Chain A
Amino acid sequence: MEHPTPVDQPVQNPLTLVMTAKSPESYEALRQIVAHVQSLPPDQNPIVVALDKIATVHFARFVFLGDQRLAVITTYDGDFDAYINEFINEIGDVFNSLLQHMQDASPLPVQTYREEFLQFVRDHDLRCEPPFYSAYPDRTVLDITATAASVG
């Protein structure tokens, strides 16, 4: 099997967004919000619907880290800034429901205060220790799902 041609950087990027709840009560409220969203069937789940449409997120997960911290960890294609408007358009309400409980949150709603939300993400995104390993550095969500569709 041929190894793929090395590229400078994979098309995929890591988001490691770590946010701190305002209080233990807020942390508990976040647990309830996340549990509720995660329990919804896919076609009624605002995260699934949004991410399917955005078509740049390979994987996404919530992780409660303790110490009142919630992490949103994803692998996504391309430049976060370039698609921030589409991202906010589709999934902004989910972030509104989370950010209302967070310390140092950007002003809400995120749909109105977009530059501020982008700065919040930059400030709280731990990304990774480079380089970010990818087994398929040039394959986007769009490439992979198109292939999957064509082979049925």
Chain B
Amino acid sequence: MDLADVQGLIVKGYAMPVVRHVGLRVDDGPAARRFLGALVDPAAGVPQLTTAAPWEVKPEVCTNVGLTAAGLHALGVADTSLDSFPAEFREGAVTRAATVGDVGPSAPDSWLPWLRDGVHILVSLSGQHQQAVEDATAELAALWQQGYTECGRADGCALPDYLAHFGYRDGFSQPTIDGLPPAGLPDSLPRPPVGAFLLGHPSQHPGFTYPVPAPPDLGHNGSFAAFRVLAQDVDSFAELLTTQADRTGLSEEMLAAKLCGRWRNGTPLVLSPTTDGPDPPVAPEAMNDFDYVGAHADERGLRCPVGSHVRRMFPRGSRIAGGGGHLHRIVRRGMTYGPPYDPTRPRDGHERGLLGMFIGVSIRDQFEFLMRDWVNDGRFAPGLGRSKDPLLGAQEDGQGRFTIPATAGDVVLDGFSRFVTTRGGAYCFLPSTTALRHLAALSAPAQQPA
């Protein structure tokens, strides 16, 4: 495993508080390809692609790049090569929107124009502070301007304590990839193999390696990401907690915990069902080290509701359709955008939400599967009917329904609407270092976008 060949964000979180994603469209094929080559050429004098090679010193800024199918075409990749990429990637996020629940207010015709109209390249910068990101942007732009037009950008930065807008501490659950250093908290859960996140290696399905796009120099050690801009309606979420606390007698914090599957401080419900401050506290290394079977068996969801967000996103050993609770893991790289929510100043008119990269070797079997089968439906698990993920799901207005199992009688929350609206997305291929050199060396004439 040549870690220097692999983009860093696939295998590690950078833990930097500032992020910027820039969407570019190809104007001039040769110059566009030169830019990609410059990212992996220290002599070129621009910030270099951040790889998975271990750091001696943590850099000020990290640089990564994603290419859409339209982008590969515009860069001059041959049709025979493009045809070897997965179908859902070639179709792209706009075409696949309905599959993942991007309908109604989340449909592409309501997206930010730069994402609705499609990007070719997504340059992603993470920085330890804003100035580092500004400096890197300026240096890279001086070169990308020769081959691309910028069509839009999305900036994010961490809230105090890295909280998410709904008030939760996030980031506890990342897969530990077999054979690589742990990227998140260590746990004793089954480890997905490298091939669940990198093309060209045995996958999480025994005997199966996902087809490597051709030619191998282009496809090998690459991955795929669904880039998403997700707006969060914090006012409505806060109202849900207040209204339902009054109605049910459960505290707002308990309701927030039941909806998510973790208390807002991150303590898993399965480990501590009645308090977010158990004595002794859950150790940091135990925060992701649990299952819904075995020591903390919770088949009915009395501790952690079966339909809660974290249990839907990662059912672990729960009894579900297919029995594959460990087979659809994704790597999540997310950052909040927009100003912090102030409950004393609600409805401030500012958009806020999450910028996310959801990474896996197969968009279809990981990101799309999660959205279609585990977020926007409930039939994968017992007793959920067609209900959707309460935090993330595409509930039609007033159609939200969430059950909190309880021995004294289930508590049902209903009548709520979606809290997250998709503002745009893009399906990106995350090429290896080798692939970027391969693209830089292509001598095809620039093609017009199809």
Q: Which residues of A contact B (CB under 8 A)?
A: 11, 53-56, 77-79, 82-83, 85-90, 92, 109, 111-112, 114, 138, 140, 142-143, 145-146, 149-150
B321 CB-CB contact with A under 8 Å: yes
Tell me if B205 and A85 are in contact (CB < 8 A): yes
With both beta carbons as reference points, the residue of chain A lying nearest to B325 in the complex is identified as: A86
Known: A11-B379, A82-B372, A85-B365. A114 touches B322 (CB 8 A): no
A78 to B299 Cα, complex, angstroms = 22
- Interfacial chain A residues near B357, Cβ < 8 Å: none
B55 CB-CB contact with A under 8 Å: no
Which chain B residues numbered 42 to 84 have a C-beta less than 8 Å away from chain A?
Answer: none
Contact of B323 among A77, A78, A79, A90 (CB under 8 A): A90
A53 to B320 Cα, complex, angstroms = 9
Which chain B residues numbered 84 to 117 have a C-beta less than 8 Å away from chain A?
Answer: none
Q: Which residues of B contact A (CB under 8 A)?
A: 205-208, 299-300, 319-324, 327, 365, 369, 372-373, 379-383, 385-386
Known: A78-B379, A82-B373. A111 touches B206 (CB 8 A): yes
- Interfacial chain B residues near A140, Cβ < 8 Å: 321, 379, 382
Within the complex, what minimum Cβ distance (angstroms) separates B91 from chain A?
15
Contact of A78 among B208, B321, B365 (CB under 8 A): B321
With both beta carbons as reference points, the residue of chain B lying nearest to A114 in the complex is identified as: B208
Contact of B383 among A78, A82, A89, A143 (CB under 8 A): A143
Tell me if A54 and B206 are in contact (CB < 8 A): no
> Which residue among A53, A56, A85 has the maximum number of chain B CB atoms within 10 Å of its CB?
A85
With both beta carbons as reference points, the residue of chain B lying nearest to A140 in the complex is identified as: B379
With both beta carbons as reference points, the residue of chain A lying nearest to B205 in the complex is identified as: A85
A88 to B323 Cα, complex, angstroms = 12
- Interfacial chain A residues near B379, Cβ < 8 Å: 11, 77-78, 140, 142
Tell me if B385 and A55 are in contact (CB < 8 A): no
**7 closest residue pairs by CB, A with B:** A111-B207, A86-B322, A146-B382, A142-B382, A53-B323, A83-B322, A86-B324
A142 to B315 Cα, complex, angstroms = 14
Within the complex, what minimum Cβ distance (angstroms) separates B364 from chain A?
9
A53 to B319 Cα, complex, angstroms = 8
Known: A11-B379, A77-B379, A82-B373. A89 touches B320 (CB 8 A): no
Tell me if A55 and B369 are in contact (CB < 8 A): no
Within the complex, what minimum Cβ distance (angstroms) separates A112 from chain B?
5
Known: A77-B379, A82-B369, A85-B205. A142 touches B324 (CB 8 A): no
A142 to B322 Cα, complex, angstroms = 10
What are 25 sample pairs from A and B whose C-beta atoms fall under 8 A apart? Answer: A11-B379, A54-B321, A54-B322, A55-B320, A55-B321, A55-B322, A56-B322, A77-B379, A78-B321, A78-B373, A79-B373, A83-B324, A85-B205, A86-B321, A86-B323, A89-B206, A89-B327, A90-B323, A138-B386, A142-B320, A142-B382, A146-B382, A146-B383, A149-B299, A150-B300
A79 to B208 Cα, complex, angstroms = 21
Within the complex, what minimum Cβ distance (angstroms) separates B378 from chain A?
10
A123 to B379 Cα, complex, angstroms = 27
Tell me if B205 and A88 are in contact (CB < 8 A): yes
Q: A55-B323, A146-B319 are in contact. List 9 more A-B contacts (CB 8 A).
A: A11-B379, A55-B322, A86-B323, A87-B322, A88-B205, A111-B208, A140-B382, A142-B319, A143-B382
Contact of A86 among B207, B208, B319, B327 (CB under 8 A): B327
With both beta carbons as reference points, the residue of chain B lying nearest to A110 in the complex is identified as: B207
Within the complex, what minimum Cβ distance (angstroms) separates B320 from chain A?
7
> Which residue among B208, B299, B320, B373 has the maximum number of chain A CB atoms within 10 Å of its CB?
B208
Within the complex, what minimum Cβ distance (angstroms) separates A79 from chain B?
8
Within the complex, what minimum Cβ distance (angstroms) separates A97 from chain B?
15
- Interfacial chain A residues near B322, Cβ < 8 Å: 54-56, 83, 85-87
- Interfacial chain A residues near B381, Cβ < 8 Å: 142
- Interfacial chain B residues near A11, Cβ < 8 Å: 379
A55 to B369 Cα, complex, angstroms = 18
Contact of A56 among B208, B300, B321, B372 (CB under 8 A): B321
